[in-house]
Amino acid sequence: MQRHNVGILGCGVISRTYLADIKAFYPRLNVLACADVTAELAKKLAEEFEVERAYTTEELLKDEDIEIVINLTPPRFHVELNKRIIEAGKHVFSEKPFAHSLEQAREVLNLAKEKGVKVGCAPDTFLSSGLQSVRHYLDTGIIGKPFMVTANMMIFGAETWHPNPGFFYEDNCGPVFDMAPYYVSAIVSLLGPVERVVGFGARPNKKRHLYVGDKAGTDIDVNVDTTYTVLLYLRSGVLVNLNLSFDIYKTDLPMFEIFGDCGTISYPDPNFGGGTPKVYRKEQFIDPIFNKTKEAEDRHDKFYELPELFPRVKDYSRGIGVMDLATAIDKKKENRTGENFILHVTEVLCGIRESVSKGQIYEVQTTCERPESLTPGQNIDCL
């Protein structure tokens, strides 16, 4: 199959993970150029990863050799830059969030249709080994009919590790637009679309102290709620409780569990690509009533690990969604993080924000199919 020339826009923290992973795992993607609003940052990244061309944004968009641009700029620039990339006639894979309103998302996607280019968006972690394995086990009925999910993304903020953490605390970011995308896209990919959303937010700290980077030792203002409790009602009738926080030092809550009428599946963290799912089945619970053996007793309290069914590249790999986009270009088909999926996930995120601000249930208008699953054993490069 064809090799695709890729340009990276935004040469910050996550660009290094994309570059390392694309070089290691996706040889059909050739990162030919990188660009940043700060020219030295593009040069530095190009030197570090032997990228041929270090550019300004304008130069990147003018380069006719570049087919796909990966937009890794901070959230507030995504809509504007994605439009410019599309206007330049290039396919775009954008980091999350795609947009801060459904209207904005539609504008970008309509422009892409007009220009005949494809759009993909992170998170693509639901395409990775761990979550595709969960999808396979769910679809084979290992826990019967799912009826409830608990998802708990409860961490402390990025100021302990990110050199420029300001954007996490802007009014259009916070955990809803930074972390919820991983959970919402995993839930939609595993269990289908969302019908209703209700949420509540809190802002325990009005300032955050920076621990690393040039501004270490100073405080920044917090312009967004940093802790949320959210309920999602899925079209399938499944109930989801989703807790999101940048304020929690430590918790033992499970990160992601799906409950069905025949058991429970537990997954380590939808923010990551790998991770071994575990299962607990109804039989384990019932057996000891009839069968008073040591084996039955031993099984009673235990989750069992389920093998991952897909080639496992790395726990925290980036680029699989770009690979999927490139394959969709080759095969002239829809990519898995395509239009309807993007619109639906964007609306759910915006719906959480609206519900929190208005104190009302938000009724979701968009819907989508679950993105096509991978075949167990399938190599990621052959998506």
Query: Rounded to the nearest whole angstrom, what is the least distance from the CB of residue 58 to ligand NAD in the complex?
Result: 10
Residues in contact with ligand NAD, total (CB under 6 A)? Answer: 21
178 touches ligand NAD by CB under 6 A: yes
CA neighbor of 380 nearest in space, from 333, 332, 334, 336: 336
Interaction pattern, residues 108-147, with ligand NAD; x per rule: CB under 6 A: ----------------------------------------
Nearest of 312, 325, 272, 270 to residue 121 by alpha carbon: 325
Contact with ligand NAD (CB under 6 A) among 95, 324, 339, 347: 95
Q: How far is the CB of 303 from ligand NAD (least distance, A)?
A: 28
Check binding of 212 to ligand NAD (CB under 6 A): no
Q: Which of 22, 49, 51, 75 binds ligand NAD (CB under 6 A)?
A: 75
**CA distance readout (Å), 315 to 9, 307, 322, 371:** 24, 15, 17, 21
Cα 359 to Cα 96: distance, rounded to the nearest angstrom: 25
CB atoms within 10 A of CB 129: 23
CA dihedral 216, 99, 368, 188 (to 10 degrees): 10
Cα end-to-end distance, the chain, whole Å: 12
Return the range that interacts with ligand NAD (CB under 6 A); candidates 68-76, 84-92, 128-136, 200-208: 68-76
Q: Is 213 in the site for ligand NAD (CB under 6 A)?
A: no
User: In whole angstroms, how close is the CB of 167 to ligand NAD at the nearest point?
Assistant: 7
Q: Is 72 in the site for ligand NAD (CB under 6 A)?
A: yes
Quick check: 338 binds ligand NAD (CB under 6 A)? no
Q: 78, exposed or middle or buried, with CB in 10 Å at 0-12, 13-18, 19+? A: buried
Cβ-based nearer residue to ligand NAD, 40 or 298: 40
List the interface residues with ligand NAD, window 9-48 (CB under 6 A).
9-15, 36-38, 41
Q: Contacts with ligand NAD in 48-67 (CB under 6 A)?
A: 57
Contact (Cβ atoms closer than 8 angstroms) between residue 305 and residue 174: no
Bridge partners for 297 per DSSP:
none
Which amino acid would we find at residue 234? L
61/343 with CB nearer ligand NAD: 61
Give whichever of 45 and 328 is closer to ligand NAD, judged by the CB atom.
45
Q: In angstroms, what is the minimal distance from the CB of 11 to ligand NAD?
A: 5
Phi, psi (rounded to 5 degrees) for 354: -65, -40
User: What dihedral do alpha carbons 287, 289, 291, 297 form, nearest 10°?
Assistant: 70
88 φ/ψ angles, rounded to the nearest 5 degrees = -80, 0
Tokens of 355: 């519900």
- Give me the least distance between CB of 179 and ligand NAD, in Å please: 9
Closest CB to ligand NAD belongs to which residue? 12
What is the contact mask toward ligand NAD in residues 143 to 172, using x (rule: CB under 6 A)? ---------------------x--------
Instruction: Write out the two tokens for 207.
Output: 């300032």
| Residues 135/373, Cβ–Cβ less than 8 Å | yes
Residues in contact with ligand NAD by CB under 6 A are 9-15, 36-38, 41, 57, 72-75, 77, 95-96, 164, 178
